[in-house]
Structure 1
């Protein structure tokens, strides 16, 4: 089987999932062509596992100071380039198209009548039991039409009585035997200078602040770090707590290891607002909807560690499901993956 696998590259979470999928495809000797869109070519890093991958402009949401900016989003959209990318994508020779909310591959497959499988967190929001917030007609249309698929497989922290599976994380990744005294800060959609200055008001706490726009340096009690794969993972596994936006993948890794989280959803971003609602409903993390030093101070004084969720190797199970060709039926996949999770992952919400 030859697979075209599209990955939304705006955030690192989609790419982190793709790394796990790439590893399992390689073990099964599956021929996979990866395509990424959503960020400039020079902003990708640690991509060796994807081989000779393709890049496209794609579509993404522009943010300013922690909130979605509609005008900037439209200004940067380049719809004609998107249409050219969709129409120019060669789908000949592929047996299956898989997309993790990547629009070029999804629309190219749709327009040519190909089977497109959506595997990703966003595909969980189509079920009514999944917590949602900040959703209006525009957001519903975006979630439905941004990367349309033939069959969908959503990922989330709980099954919410819906046919979705646990997060794709690396189950071998464990919290360090000796936890450090630092707090990892990853708020890439915020003003980084503002974050740094704010963190200086907590001189007794050591912070490691990550962002793609930072340069490795030290500023008082704050270690500034440019986003990287291995350095970030090392600091994450030994962190006493994490402060981040309400993206799915990083918080999944924290929940897997039982790391306390303070999450700030991006304003106007319905996925992150829905994640915040789910975290509150599950009791898994503290939420601040506006950047507020008072909330940070209270959280730092007693960060509550969630019970480690110990998610199973979901990527391996999804690979086998994709290769089976039985894409109409997810029941066995859903049941088997949740059975492998610890009881904390089995909290059932009433329909």
Structure 2
């Protein structure tokens, strides 16, 4: 069976999920062509697992000072080229079409009257799950950005809805966890503000991954360029993670049992809702703004939760092979039955989880 798989590449989360799906699909005998959009071609890195993949400009969201800028978004997106990419993408040679919130694939499939399966976190918002920052613009973007015929939503908790756990790798156990080591990934924030936030906290070692560079920093703040291998090494042996409220990195942190503090991207309904979901399930802490007092309180008083997720990619591949496009509630429940929550020594959280 030949599959066309579109992946939104604006952030790293969608690509990370596709990295997990790729070997599972290959092992099942699927022949897959991948398309990446939303990021310049020369900014894609470590893409070997996807073979001879395709690229289009697509659509992306622009940010400024830690929030979505709809003005910059409208100016920077080339709508005419986007429409041309949709019209010229021929899907007739493929048996199955998948989109991970990737709009060129989704709209090309719709125009060619083809069924398209949406796999991703955004598709969970079609169900009554925790939401905030929800307005007509946010609802319109979620509904029409990358529409799918069949939607497989993913989330950290099922919220009694037919959505699946995250698609993530099962990481190797680190030789040791460094209690004072904190991984920081806030790519939408000004690197100078991040340095100013963390500079007085000299009892900790902060490993900050950023697309920007700052040479004016104290010795306990290590600023690093984006590298999947390096990032994964630091994620494995750190004790804590500070990040925006995206889905994939928080999922990996939970799987590894890292203490988690998120700063949601302002004016972005998905991230605001993710932060709310983390608070409601007591899986992580939230700071609405970059705030040193919040960071100090979390570092000294926060608790880690480890969530052991099953191999969701293999469950999805099995579902794809079955040919049944109905999302069966019993199947979804059986996947969640494999999830294990470890609240450690925090008695309040263990009691609430019971």
TM normalised by structure 2 equals 0.93
**Partners of 2:163 and 2:261 in 1: CA distance:** 25
**Partners of 1:276 and 1:268 in 2: CA distance:** 13
* 2:222 maps to 1:223: yes
- Map of 1:137 onto structure 2: 136
**Partners of 1:241 and 1:232 in 2: CA distance:** 13
Report how far residue 202 of structure 1 moved. Answer: 1.1
Size of the alignment, in residue pairs? 344
**Partners of 1:343 and 1:198 in 2: CA distance:** 32
Report how far residue 331 of structure 1 moved. Answer: 2.8
**Partners of 2:215 and 2:251 in 1: CA distance:** 26
Which deviates more from structure 2 when the two are superposed, residues 188-197 or residues 100-109?
Answer: 188-197
Q: Which blocks of at least 5 consecutive residues in structure 1 are unaligned?
A: none
* 2:239 maps to 1:240: yes
**Partners of 1:6 and 1:226 in 2: CA distance:** 26
Which secondary structure state, in structure 2, belongs to the residue aligned with residue 203 of structure 1?
coil
- Map of 1:160 onto structure 2: 159
**Partners of 2:65 and 2:328 in 1: CA distance:** 39
1:160-179 equivalent positions in 2, closer than 5 A: 160-171=159-170, 173-179=171-177
- Map of 1:77 onto structure 2: 77
- Map of 2:192 onto structure 1: 193
Report how far residue 111 of structure 1 moved. Answer: 0.8
- Contact 1:62 / 1:69 at 8 angstroms: preserved in 2? yes
* 2:114 maps to 1:114: yes
- Map of 1:295 onto structure 2: 294
- Map of 1:312 onto structure 2: 310
Report how far residue 205 of structure 1 moved. Answer: 1.1
- Contact 2:195 / 2:217 at 8 angstroms: preserved in 1? no
**Partners of 2:72 and 2:328 in 1: CA distance:** 39
- Map of 1:333 onto structure 2: 331
Report how far residue 329 of structure 1 moved. Answer: 3.1
Q: Which blocks of at least 5 consecutive residues in structure 2 are unaligned?
A: 344-349
- Map of 1:324 onto structure 2: 322
**Partners of 1:58 and 1:71 in 2: CA distance:** 17
- Contact 2:154 / 2:166 at 8 angstroms: preserved in 1? yes
Report how far residue 330 of structure 1 moved. Answer: 3.2
**Partners of 2:222 and 2:173 in 1: CA distance:** 20
Q: Kindly tell me: are residues 163 and 202 of structure 1, through their superposed partners in 2, closer, same or farther at Cα, counting changes over 3 Å? A: same
Which secondary structure state, in structure 2, belongs to the residue aligned with residue 224 of structure 1?
strand
Report how far residue 248 of structure 1 moved. Answer: 0.3
- Contact 1:174 / 1:257 at 8 angstroms: preserved in 2? no
TM normalised by structure 1 equals 0.94
**Partners of 1:136 and 1:44 in 2: CA distance:** 32
- Contact 2:66 / 2:265 at 8 angstroms: preserved in 1? yes
Which secondary structure state, in structure 2, belongs to the residue aligned with residue 309 of structure 1?
strand
Q: Kindly tell me: are residues 35 and 136 of structure 1, through their superposed partners in 2, closer, same or farther at Cα, counting changes over 3 Å? A: same
Report how far residue 336 of structure 1 moved. Answer: 2.2
**Partners of 1:33 and 1:88 in 2: CA distance:** 16
Report how far residue 190 of structure 1 moved. Answer: 0.6
Q: Deviations over 1:98-117 (max 9, x none)?
A: 00100000000001100100
Which deviates more from structure 2 when the two are superposed, residues 21-30 or residues 66-75?
Answer: 21-30
Q: Which has the higher contact order (CA 8 A, sep 6+)?
A: 1
Report how far residue 212 of structure 1 moved. Answer: 2.6
- Contact 2:253 / 2:259 at 8 angstroms: preserved in 1? yes
Which deviates more from structure 2 when the two are superposed, residues 230-239 or residues 207-216?
Answer: 207-216
- Map of 1:31 onto structure 2: 31
Report how far residue 174 of structure 1 moved. Answer: 4.0
